[in-house]
Chain A
Amino acid sequence: MYKMSKKLQLAAIILMIVGAVGLIYSFVSTPTNVQEVEEMLAHDEHHGEEEASATQQSEMNQNHKSLSHDDESHMGEAKHDNHHSEASGHEKSHAEHVYDQLKNKPWSAIYTSSLFFFLLAVGAFTFYAIQNASQAGWSPVIFRVMEGISKYILPGGIIVFVILVLSTFQLNHLFIWMDPSVVEHDEIIRNKTGYLNDSFFLIRAAIYIIGWVLLSRVIVKNSRKQDENPSLKLHKKNFKLSAIYLVFFIVTESMMSWDWIMSIDTHWFSTLFGWYVFASMFVAGITTIALVTIYLKSRGYLEFVNNSHIHDLAKFMFGISIFWTYLWFSQFLLIWYSNIPEEAVYYIARFNDYQLPFLGMVVLNFVFPLLVLINSDFKRVNWIVVMSGIIILIGHYLNFFVMIMPGTVGESWFIGIPEISSILLILGLFIFIVFKAISSVPLLAKNNPYIEESKHFHY
């Protein structure tokens, strides 16, 4: 029986407090009106000019810049839709534009990290459901770790849902299609209102979250009931429920990715986006399972987990990392190759303003795991798995960052106080809930028909 150590509890609480303070600070310190932003821009002007001259060195770059500028005005809010017809009004609308972006910053920061940790927990639970449905013989000894992580689905889902509700109340501009004044002037969005409207959006979100929470809770509960119940009934029930969950999940996950992430860039669409988001959350979930397992083992709680189990988890981390890259590249290559303007703006915004995180995450999520985790011996070494796990998690946070930020804060992004403090806040909450859940039950599932095989698993 694991008991969450006082130290870990304290660390989680400190993370939450520091994060909450930082987040409140960043909400308070956003500019309150457009004048403030104008002053700020005037102050930075000298800086800006230097940058601009540097970027205009090649014709190529210039083309991109002007292209992306057009798209911005096309995609941006209606308030400054007319900003290139009036030369004098340009400055004003630019300040307004930046003002909206800065207002959005803390909102998108907390949204990104809430979504990341929530989907990570869902990904970990999906892995668990796959283990159940595929009758895996190696993994039952770490079922309790996966069950603990899946306990975060409920609080994480509530947080995400609350943010979505607040967005529909116009408290932020994460989703431009929620703003009636934008939709009014935008025919493309208007044609999508059959799907993208506040009430249907929230109903869908509630269906996904309630479905995932209910199915995960029932499956986890059955697995715990099995400890006192040696019959196979609960096992078979969980097998069926897991299969049902997986079918439900793949449909709702795909729609979730359209709703919660793709609709931020309302003018853009991609067909493999659902799979792409799935790969990201799945590998993050598996990595978290590996990290928590290694942590608990290092504390001496999982004596029945051997390095073959770690090896298997690391193989999954490696394989799904490459799967993610495959989808990332497939989406990029198809859009880059055909270069249809309405699709390409998505990547032009990312290449112009997000070059470092956008390309950096490919290094973190692909090149690094590829070179490190390809070695069979390395996959059994705890510190190497932990190190690459942390890098994969950072990389997939960046993935969510690059999916969400360009549509909400645009070129005003920065990984500063709002972003870091919202990561800390949610991370603290995640650690607290997950380890509390893990300490509530014995770490070895009893009466699972595969538990003996799993204990002696050797690769």
Chain B
Amino acid sequence: MATKVIQAIYTDDDILMNAVKSVKENKYHIEEIYTPFPVHGLDKLMGLPHTRLAITSFLYGLVGLTVAVVMMNFIMIEDWPQNIGGKPSFSYIQNMPAFVPIMFELTVFFAAHLMVITFYMRSKLWPFKKAENPDSRTTDDRFLMEVSVNEKNYQQVTELIYKSGASEIKLKEN
């Protein structure tokens, strides 16, 4: 029965923020908010947890660094330690400065690309994915808030949202 949501459309992000605050204060559950652009501070008001994307990126960077070190050590030092222009290939550390550009680039490469891929996977984005947009105007100039309701409280929630300055209110069955 809890599969009904109220969709409220706002025309201004300030009004939206106030609405979110009042819905939160009354302890109703916000299902989702659709906005055409990032609204600064919205995540904090909704109480969303902090992203851990930066941490994954750091770890991917370490992976990239390891790949670079292991690769260069195997190729240049262990497998075939040639004398190339008098560079010392006796141990990794002796020839390390020459490998630093590679180590740096692979660290950045892994950190950047794997983080982006992680982002796509976590936010479920890929080509040919069906858009989950409840109202196409939210990509242009409207803000849409979905609040989940049940039989008992939908009346009160509707009133609350009406008072919060919504320009349209719809009850939708999921």
Contact = CB atoms under 8 A, between A and B. Distances in A.
Contact of A336 (B54, B58, B97): B97
B100 A329 contact: yes
B86 interface: yes
A322 to B, nearest CB: 11
Interface in A76-135: none
A333 B98 CA distance: 7
A161 to B, nearest CB: 38
Contact of A337 (B54, B58, B98): B98
A376 B54 contact: yes
A332 B97 contact: yes
A337 B97 contact: yes
A374 B58 CA distance: 9
Nearest to B101: A333
A77 B97 CA distance: 33
Interface in A314-370: 329, 332-333, 336-337, 339
Contacts, number: 13
Interface in A358-394: 374, 376
Interface residues of A, number: 9
Contacts of A332: 97
Interface in B29-56: 54
A199 B6 CA distance: 83
Contacts of B58: 374
A337 B54 CA distance: 35
A329 B58 CA distance: 22
Nearest to A333: B97
Interface string B66-100: 00000000000000000000101000000001101
B124 to A, nearest CB: 26
Contacts of B100: 329, 333
Contacts of A374: 58
Nearest to B87: A337
Nearest to B41: A458
A339 B97 contact: no
Interface string B53-65: 0100010000000
Contacts of A329: 97, 100
Contacts of A376: 54
Interface string A199-239: 00000000000000000000000000000000000000000
B98 A339 contact: no
Residue from B54, B97, B98, B100 with most neighbouring chain A CB atoms (10 Å): B97
Contacts of A337: 97-98
A225 to B, nearest CB: 36
Contacts of B98: 333, 337
B54 A339 contact: no
Interface string B88-120: 100000000110100000000000000000000
Interface in B97-152: 97-98, 100
Contacts of B97: 329, 332-333, 336-337
Nearest to B54: A376
Nearest to B58: A374
Contacts of A333: 97-98, 100
A339 B54 CA distance: 39
A126 B161 CA distance: 53
Contacts of A339: 86
A333 B58 CA distance: 26
A378 to B, nearest CB: 12
Contacts of A60: 88
Contacts of B88: 60
Interface in A435-453: none
Contacts of B54: 376
Nearest to A371: B58
A374 B107 CA distance: 15
A337 B85 CA distance: 10
Nearest to A374: B58
A285 B24 CA distance: 46
A60 B89 CA distance: 12
Nearest to A58: B90
A60 B54 CA distance: 43
A374 B55 CA distance: 10
Nearest to A376: B54
A339 B94 CA distance: 14
A114 B96 CA distance: 35
A313 to B, nearest CB: 20
A255 B131 CA distance: 60
Contacts of B86: 339
B83 to A, nearest CB: 14
Interface string B144-168: 0000000000000000000000000
B106 to A, nearest CB: 16
A199 to B, nearest CB: 41
B133 to A, nearest CB: 31
A336 B93 CA distance: 13
Given A60-B88, A332-B97, A336-B97, 10 more contacts: A329-B97, A329-B100, A333-B97, A333-B98, A333-B100, A337-B97, A337-B98, A339-B86, A374-B58, A376-B54
13 contacts: A60-B88, A329-B97, A329-B100, A332-B97, A333-B97, A333-B98, A333-B100, A336-B97, A337-B97, A337-B98, A339-B86, A374-B58, A376-B54
Interface of B: 54, 58, 86, 88, 97-98, 100
Among all A-B residue pairs, the 9 with the closest Cβ atoms? A333-B97, A336-B97, A337-B98, A329-B100, A332-B97, A333-B100, A337-B97, A374-B58, A376-B54
